[in-house]
Chains A and B, each alone.
Chain A
Amino acid sequence: EVQLVESGGGLVQPGGSLRLSCAASGFTFSTIWMTWVRQAPGKGLEWVADIRKDGSENHCVDSVKGRFTISRDNAKNSLFLQMNSLRGEDTAVYYCATGSPGGYWGQGTLVTVSS
């Protein structure tokens, strides 16, 4: 059974940092692109970033460029999102998902940026 489990969310002050993790199981992690998608409270979905299966290529939305870094550890079947210089508008549930995104999503982890 495919499982994606996010962790690392929480309350952080503006300007602070958080590192989200996504633990994957039930499939060959190293063969699939992975994606982060977020959803601010009461708002729609926003694609945030993705990363190639071997980690050699990644892309992100302009609003997080220079602040967020997506990475992966294929040996540990894990996806990460390092978030620095956090702003109020980064407050959201963050989902990891397989593919562009595709058929498998985690349950999400809530990030709240507030003083």
Chain B
Amino acid sequence: DIQMTQSPSSLSASVGDRVSITCRASQGIRNDLGWYQQKPGKAPKRLIYAASSLQSGVPSRFSGSGSGTEFTLTISSLQPEDFATYYCLQHNSYPFTFGPGTKVDIK
């Protein structure tokens, strides 16, 4: 199985900060990676697909990059509604696997 790791596991940031989260795959997954945001008690929401494509309706302050084994989600200017947990998911080979999550909270 492909193992996904994320760093950091949590971070504290202020409104307006630039934030980056890294996701690493245990083997190459091309660009078969998505990023998801989840708020407490809610279903996840996909932000990015194919590693760097912005999901329709998602603000442009979110961006994704990377290919192969290392990927990054960047929020260019953190907004109050962005405080949440973020997950990456590889869908290159079965079983698909999520990263453990990165919790972004208010500094």
Contacts of B56 in A (CB 8 A): 103
**How big is chain B's contact interface, by range?**
20 to 34
Contact B91–A100 (Cβ < 8 Å): yes
- Interface pair A107/B95, CB less than 8 Å apart: no
- Contacts from B to A (Cβ < 8 Å): 1, 34, 36, 38, 43-46, 49, 55-56, 87, 89, 91, 94-101
Q: Does A54 contact B (CB under 8 A)?
A: no
Interface pair B46/A102, CB less than 8 Å apart? yes
| Contact B43–A107 (Cβ < 8 Å) | yes
Contact B36 A45 (CB under 8 A): yes
Count class of interface residues, chain A: 10 to 19
Residues of A within 8 A of B1 (CB): 62
Q: Taking each of B1, B45, B98, which has the highest tally of chain A beta carbons within 10 Å of its own beta carbon? A: B98
Report Cα–Cα, A66/B89, bound state, in Å: 24
